[in-house]
Structure 1
Amino acid sequence: MITENEYFDGNVKLLGYETTEGKSTIGVINPGEYRFGTAQKEIMHVIEGQLEVLLPDTAEWISISAGNFFEVPANASFNIKAAVQAAYLCQYRQI
């Protein structure tokens, strides 16, 4: 089954699906700054565009461009900034 979600007044939209490895979403994010929380470990792959990320327990933003990824542990919060629209794949994992 495919699920649809949107956050931040429609500025982040995603389609969710499930594989044998777990749940995943494909999302598009509009320009802006957003704070997300995790329940599970998240592996975020930037598909197109670029994101600036402030990971938990860090003080410096890092730039993640298309073809690269970052990981966020379960039960944490992180910030994302996008200067232009960007697309990403987010994999939710138990590990």
Structure 2
Amino acid sequence: MTTQFDNVSVVKKANLYFDGKCVSHTVLFADGTKKTIGVIFPSSLTFNTGAPEIMELNAGKCRIRLQGEENWTTYEGGQSFNVPGNSSFDIETLETLDYVCHFVAA
């Protein structure tokens, strides 16, 4: 697992979602790719996706249910999960989640 990103630009303005339950910053790479890094405080939320994403969890614990699935899957720091593009997922954050969202080119 990468512990830092070198030679990047960071958008100063924070991305605030769900009344501050999710706070992230956008990180821009020289090759044109982007990631967001942030935290999700304990809550139950639904995120919609445009591009496919890989959610890498640095710390915390959550339960995820991808769009169209009935079962929940538990993930914690050190794990990751994939979310298809043009989709959504329900997340129940059990412990404050420290994450990196990798946007995958379609």
Name the residue aligned to 2:10: 2
Alignment of 1:7-18 (within 5 A): 7-18=17-28
Runs of 4+ in 1 over 3 A off after TM superposition: none
Instruction: Return closer, same or farther for 1:21/1:51 CA change in 2, 3 Å cut-off.
Output: farther
1:58 aligned partner, one-letter code: E
Unaligned runs of 5+ in 1: none
Which of 64, 69, 74 is equivalent to 1:58? Answer: 69
TM-score (ref. length: structure 1) = 0.93
In 2, the alpha carbon distance for the partners of 1:59 and 1:39 equals 22
Structure showing greater relative contact order (alpha-carbon pairs closer than 8 Å, 6 or more residues apart): 1
- How many aligned positions are there? 95
SS in 1 for 2:19: coil
In structure 2, the gaps of 5 or more residues are: 1-8
Q: Within 5 Å, which residues of 2 pair with 1:31-50? A: 31-50=42-61
In the alignment, structure 1 residue 87 sits paired with structure 2 residue 95: no
| Alignment partner of 1:27 is 2:38 | yes
Q: Which moved more, 1:20-29 or 1:58-67?
A: 20-29
Q: TM-score of the superposition, structure 2-length normalised?
A: 0.84
Calculate percent identity across the aligned residue pairs.
Answer: 32
